[in-house]
Amino acid sequence: MATLEIKDLHVSVATDDGAKEILKGVDLTVKAGETHAIMGPNGSGKSTLSYAVAGHPKYEVTSGSVTLDGENVLEMSVDERARAGLFLAMQYPVEVPGVSMSNFLRTAATAVRGEAPKLRTWVKEVKAAMSELEIDPAFAERSVNEGFSGGEKKRHEILQLALLSPKIAILDETDSGLDVDALRVVSDGVNRFKASGETGVLLITHYTRILRHITPDFVHVFAGGRIVESGGSELANVLEAEGYVKYTGAQEAAG
């Protein structure tokens, strides 16, 4: 069973004024079969965590470790991370003009599976997954994310998730910008992905509403570049009622 282990992770981002430390010692273990939610105020470093695990060149790991089943993720190229079974859905998905969704998905599946999926079964697979996510078949021929609405981008992330079946998925604000119906479709997609019990999910979110559709096993509060509290799904209800004030106050007091 897959295990993603993040230990005492410190990450700096390159800015015009030099390197700025954003993550200040993150410890987190996500195992297959578990869903973890990371919740925290804007600017607390949640996306920085997902970029660092994804291997974005702007985010420098200054100390600590990230391993997947004991293998050092930080030494892997972005492609190798995907092949190892990591999937990262970014808060702001990139547009890839001139590359159709269907080509993009097939290339990604080929990279992850180590061989090109057979065309006939692949077309069926994609059609079925698109229909489950209520995506218009015409989207298959459109350029990746180009001119997609926020909700359409998020559906396509979940489409990738369904087709690539990674071991561990990190979803950064997959719920943001979704209306009620899209939120249901996207949440159902994540729940189908979880249903095998063989995959781990790290759900990064600012709001508790997606947690009414996807029940996390663990909730972690993120503030000031680290996890400041962990609990079960009931912690989300406390956050919904009380907000993050308690934690951001502590962050200011700590400097």
Residues lying near ligand ADP in the complex (CB under 6 A): 13, 15, 22, 40, 42-48, 58
Q: Are 25 and 9 in contact (CB under 8 A)?
A: yes
Query: What are the residues binding Mg ion (CB under 5 A)?
Result: 42, 46-47, 91
CB of 42 to Mg ion, least distance (A): 4
How many CB atoms lie under 10 A from the CB of residue 94? Answer: 9
The phi, psi pair for 142, rounded to 5°, reads -85, 155
Name the closest residue to Mg ion (Cβ).
Answer: 47
Minimum CB distance to ligand ADP smaller for 47 or for 102: 47
CB nearer to Mg ion: give 85 or 224: 224
Closer of 43 and 232 to Mg ion (Cβ)? 43
CB of 146 to Mg ion, least distance (A): 22
Of the candidates 80, 96, 191, which has an alpha carbon nearest to the alpha carbon of residue 148? 96
Strands (E) in 81-193, as ranges, are 86-89, 96-100, 143-144, 168-172
Torsion sign across C-alpha atoms 15, 224, 44, 52: positive
Partner that binds at residue 13, options Mg ion, ligand ADP, none, CB closer than 5 to 8 Å by kind: ligand ADP
Contacted by 44, from ligand ADP, Mg ion, none: CB < 5 to 8 Å by type = ligand ADP
Q: How many whole angstroms separate alpha carbon 255 and alpha carbon 18?
A: 20
Least separation in angstroms between CB 3 and ligand ADP: 24
**Nearer of residues 89 and 168 to Mg ion, judged by Cβ:** 89
Residue 91: CB atoms within 10 A of its CB come to: 16
Beta strand pairing status for 168-172 and 86-89? parallel
Indicate which of ligand ADP, Mg ion, none lies near residue 12 (CB less than 5 to 8 Å, by partner kind): none
174 contact, one of ligand ADP, Mg ion, none, CB 5-8 Å limit per kind: none
Query: Which of 90, 109 has the CB closer to Mg ion?
Result: 90
DSSP codes of every residue in 169-192: EEEESTTTT--HHHHHHHHHHHHH
Q: How far is the CB of 13 from Mg ion (least distance, A)?
A: 13
CA 180 to chain centre: 20
Q: Which is nearer to Mg ion, 41 or 55 (CB)?
A: 41
- CB 50 to Mg ion: min, Å: 8
What whole-number distance in Å separates Cα of residue 99 and Cα of residue 42? 32
Rounded Cα gap, residues 69 and 90, in angstroms: 23
Residue 63 CB, nearest approach to ligand ADP (Å): 17
